[in-house]
Amino acid sequence: MVEVAARLCQMMGLPRSVGQIYGLLYLAPRPLGLDDIAESLGISKASVSTGTRHLLSWHAVRQVWKPGDRKDYFEVQADLAEVLRANYSGTFRPQLEKSRRKVTLLLASLESNRKAGTVDREEYQVCRDRLDSLARLQGQIQKLLPFAEKLL
């Protein structure tokens, strides 16, 4: 599981150590501390710290505390559907809306530049075609969102 998760992260352009940490925690019967994770995987504590921060931001792991112990411990969010829901609501959907607003602003700016004569006809057309293509893609994704929300 550790190796499979590591390879999957690598294929997605993420650090291998992030996948190793997730894979280890996925199979761990109890929460593990940074030292335990580093020792089990043979990686530095700094890599473990960075990797757990990535995983925390993706809601893939939770930080837990043991009474009387000042160390941080981590356990996996084993329900992958919950990980997807959290990232969809907290990251993907807001980023999609932000990118839609940016494309709208870029189109307005391009139009303003065309009217001011600061962009030639060829540059304008290339940029316009590409921004229109992005806007269409965003529109198609927006149409799919209600179906994605029902699946999650």
Place of tokens 């993907």: 92
Residue 62's DSSP bridge partners are: 75
| Entry pTM | 0.67
Structure-token pair, residue 92: 């993907």
Instruction: Note down pLDDT in tens along the chain; length 152 residues.
Output: 899 999 988 998 889 999 999 999 999 999 999 999 999 999 999 999 999 999 999 899 999 998 888 899 999 998 888 888 887 777 777 888 888 899 999 999 999 999 999 999 999 999 999 999 999 998 888 888 777 777 76
Predicted local distance difference test score (pLDDT) of residue 88: 78
Q: Identify the sign of the CA torsion 44, 68, 26, 83.
A: negative
Predicted local distance difference test score (pLDDT) of residue 44: 95
Q: Identify the sign of the CA torsion 76, 79, 83, 86.
A: negative
